[in-house]
Amino acid sequence: MFKNRFKYFRFFLFSFLIFFNFMLNTKADIFFLDTNLIYQNSLIGKKIEKKINSKQLEIKNFLNEQKKLIDEENENINKQKNVLSEEELKNRLQNLENKINSFNNIVRIENDKLELYRKKLNDAFTEELRKIISEYVSKNDIELVIEKNNIIIGNKLLDLTQTILDVLNVRVKDIIIE
């Protein structure tokens, strides 16, 4: 009985040592990068943010103009409240309410358009970044690249962020979406 246990122990120990030796001799090329930092500091990321902010400002100005017209109409109705007939006042208030509802729909639609615009730009950026990372991984025989926010601690020599950022700044000058 003792001999059988000893055989199993020797087999297990031998298997473990072979496996452990194999693991020590295997070098995995695993790197990480910070895509948020790349987006925030890249020339194209900054350009995308400018485009989004410009579009957002354009929408805001348009909506402010529309709101101003509605406010002016409301003010006019309030000024003429005593002069208008009850039916005319009711019609104007109904008309104003319809304009307010229409304005609220426009706000929702414009916000949806802005969000779609932002998503398209970010998707295009992500695709360009993915191409660059894939090419870099292929050229340098890297097995795995992990997002930095999923790493607790890592050697700074394994951080590809600056390298990929430099390549992105050289290769991607603008992103055009349909």
Give the residue numbers spanning the domain of 165.
Answer: 26-171
In a domain, 12, yes or no: no
What CATH number corresponds to the domain at position 105?
Answer: 3.30.910.20
Q: Is residue 38 part of a domain?
A: yes
**pTM recorded for the entire structure:** 0.73
If you count them, how many residues does the chain have?
Answer: 178
Residue 40, pLDDT above cutoff 90: yes
Which residues share a beta bridge with 145?
Answer: 31
Looking up tokens 């007939």, which residue turns up? 85
In a domain, 176, yes or no: no
Q: Considering its fold, how many domains does the chain have in total?
A: 1
pLDDT score at 28: 59
Q: Does residue 151 surpass a pLDDT of 70?
A: yes
Q: Can you give the three-state secondary structure of the chain, one letter per residue?
A: CHHHHHHHHHHHHHHHHHHHHHHHHCCCCEEEECHHHHHHHCHHHHHHHHHHHHHHHHHHHHHHHHHHHHHHHHHHHHHHCCCCCHHHHHHHHHHHHHHHHHHHHHHHHHHHHHHHHHHHHHHHHHHHHHHHHHHHHHHCCCCEEEEHHHCCCCCHHHECHHHHHHHHHHHCCCCCCC
Instruction: Give the Å distances, CA to CA, from 76 to 66, 79, 102, 107.
Output: 16, 5, 19, 23
For the stretch 43-99, pLDDT in tens is 999 999 999 999 999 999 999 999 999 999 999 988 888 888 888 888 988 999 999
